[in-house]
Structure 1
Amino acid sequence: MNRTMGQFRREATEHTDWCARDHRCGINEHRAPDVEAREVGGRAWITRTRAGDVEYAEVRVRIPLHRTETGARWQLALTLRLIRELLTAVAIRPGISRTGQTGVDSARSRGAIGRAA
């Protein structure tokens, strides 16, 4: 019995100036080294990624949960709400260019910009 194997062909993309240029990069995806933040017992990582012609930020967090079910559920609900707020704050929407906001003082509209960490 003869078997036929399908072949997938993807066009390789060139490395970017910021990608890790190692095992993190695939055929058509490029990934920067992770940036890590350790705060108040939790950890977060952000990675700049390019897939095809689209660049995006990938965010991962590890948050220790409370030992009680009620406390853990409260933390999960709060985390989801804050992630929604984060996505709303940083999403590129129609009328907002990648270089800045039209007709709006971007430093005033984004309270965290320019604030000391």
Structure 2
Amino acid sequence: MRARTMASFHRKPIPHTDWCTGDHRCGVNFHQAPDIIADGQLGARAIITRVRAAEVDYAEIRIRVPLRRADSLARRQLDTALHAVRALLAAVAAVRPAPLPGAGDRPAVGRRAF
């Protein structure tokens, strides 16, 4: 008699894309492009990576900004960074294409279930 110690997961693998690395950075259910790095002043760095997970593409952005030692200045820097990230998200969202025709039609919404 054999005891089963671990459950096994069965996921449908997502095929590699033409832009993904196709190496250890890609998992069973996601794919990742090579990092694009932008270095800034005084040790700041931004890294952006294209990721596909569950058939949806994402931009993964990591930002490293050195903060001042004085708490009041560090808080102002964090506040500025937060406002800049919000502006970035709004600008990227504005580039989104218009929805497909008929995508807004939802005849089942508002219908009563019996």
Whether the TM-score (by the shorter chain) exceeds 0.5 is yes
Alignment partner, residue 35 of structure 1: 36
Alignment partner, residue 104 of structure 2: none
Alignment partner, residue 75 of structure 1: 77
- C-alpha distance in 1 between matches for 2:45 and 2:88: 17
* CA gap 1:75/1:36 in 2 versus in 1, 3 angstroms: same
| TM-score with structure 2 setting the length | 0.76
Alignment partner, residue 59 of structure 2: 57
How far 1:74 sits from its partner (Å)? 0.5
Q: What stretches of structure 2 of length at least 5 have no aligned partner?
A: 99-114
How far 1:77 sits from its partner (Å)? 0.9
Q: Deviations over 1:2-58 (max 9, x none)?
A: 556332211101000000111110001000010000011210000000002100100
Q: Does 1:15 align with 2:12?
A: no
Structure number with bigger Rg: 2
Q: Which has the higher strand share?
A: 1
SS of 1:45's equivalent in the other structure is: strand
- C-alpha distance in 2 between matches for 1:26 and 1:74: 39
Aligned partner of 1:87 among 70, 81, 89: 89
Q: Percent identity?
A: 51
SS of 2:72's equivalent in the other structure is: helix
Task: Provide the aligned length of Structure 1 versus Structure 2.
Answer: 96
- C-alpha distance in 1 between matches for 2:41 and 2:93: 26
* Structure 1 vs Structure 2 CA RMSD: 2.0
| TM-score with structure 1 setting the length | 0.74
Alignment partner, residue 50 of structure 2: 48
Alignment partner, residue 102 of structure 1: none
Alignment partner, residue 97 of structure 2: 97
SS of 1:25's equivalent in the other structure is: coil
